[in-house]
Structure 1
C-alpha cells in the first residue's frame, strides 16, 4: 500500500493515530472486563436489597457493601432508604429530598447533585419491607477513557486524510502546470 504524501508530518500523524487506536482498543478490553466484574458484584448487591424486609443489621451490610463497591470499582453509587409513607407511590420516592431519607449512603451523596448527576445517573427503586430504597449510579463510566482515546484517534485520522488530500491536490496542480509550460 503506497501513501501519497509521506513526509515527517503525515508519517508522525499516522503513527500517533495508530498508537491512540491501539491504546483505545486495549483500554476498551480492560474496561469491558472491569464492567463484567462490576455487573456481577452489582447484581449480588441488588439481590441483598430487593424484596427483603430490611433490619438494622441488613442496613449496616448495605452500607459496608456499597462502600466496598465504591472503593473497588471507583464508582459513585449512592443509596437513600426512605421509610414508606401513605400516599407516596414508588415513583415519587425518586424525587424526595435526601433530608427526608432515614439513611443515606455515602453521607456525601447529596453534595454531588448537579446537572450531570441528574442527567446521566439512572435511578432505580426497590421495595424492602417497611422501607423503599432508591439507588443511583453511573453505569458505564468505565468506557469514558476508551471513548476519549477513540475520539482523539479519529481526529488524528481525519487530519492525516486532509494532509493526504492536500498533497494529492498540490502534486496534481504542479503536474498540470508543468504540462502547460
Structure 2
C-alpha cells in the first residue's frame, strides 16, 4: 500500500492507494469515518454534524456541516469538497492550470465583495499532486482553501472550510481535524 503524506505548516493530508488503512487510523474522539467518495475517499464526520453528498457527471460534492442543509440552502460552518474527474476533458485545462485560474478568479471575486486574502496562496508538491493553499475572509466568514490537483489522473479536489468570523477559532479546531485526516484515494 502506497502512502503519501503532504506536510504544510498547519496540517497534513493523507493520500492512500487503499482506504483499508482506516484500520490503523481510528477516528479521534467526537468523530467517525465516512466513506464519501469518490471511490475510497474518506472524511471525518464530527458527531452531531451533517453529511450531504451530491453527484452528477461533472462533480462529486461532499458537504460536512454544523447546520443541516435544507432545500439547498447554504450552511455557515463546515467543509465543502468538490471532486472533479476528467478535468481536462471538461475544461480544456490540466488540473494544475484549472487550479491557478480558479484561484485568480476567486481572489478577484473576494475583492469585489470587500473580502481579503488572509494568507497568500502557496503551492506544494506531493507525488502526483500539486497542492495550493490560501485563506480568505470578509466581514462574515473566514475560509481555508486547499486545491489538490493531479494532472496524471486528471482530477482536482477543491476543498474549503468556512466558519463565521466570530466563531472561527473554535470552529477551526474541528475543521483542522477533518482536513488533517482527509484520506484521498489516489487510484481514481
* Fold agreement, TM-score > 0.5: no
Larger radius of gyration: 1
Higher helix proportion (structure 1 or 2): 1
TM-score (norm 2): 0.29
